[in-house]
Amino acid sequence: MPTLETWGRFPLSIRRHLIDRMRERSISIADLNQLRTCVESGPEVAEGDWYKDFGSFKICGKGTLPRTFLLRGQVAKGRAL
C-alpha cells in the first residue's frame, strides 16, 4: 500500500488549498498537531479516495496526497484510515 506524502512533497497548489481550508474551517493548532503526528508516522493510504477522522475535522485524500479538510459532520467518501 502507498503511504501519505510529507508536507514538503505536496504540490504547491495542494499546499495552498489545504492552508486556505485550514483557515476557513478554523482548524486549531491542537488539531494541526494531531495531523502533523499522523503525517510524520507515514500512514498507509488507499490508492483511491480515503479519509482520516480526527474528531473535530477530517482530512480527505486520494492516493498519496491529501486533497481537503472537512468539518465534523461533513460526509467524507472513500476508505476510512
Q: What is the mean pLDDT of residues 5-30?
A: 88
Q: Does the pLDDT value for residue 28 go beyond 90? A: no
Give the pLDDT of residue 61.
Answer: 95
pTM here is 0.84
Q: What is the mean pLDDT of residues 18-38?
A: 87
Give the pLDDT of residue 64.
Answer: 94
Q: Does the pLDDT value for residue 32 go beyond 90? A: no
Give the pLDDT of residue 60.
Answer: 95
Distance between CA atoms of residues 11 and 33, nearest Å: 21
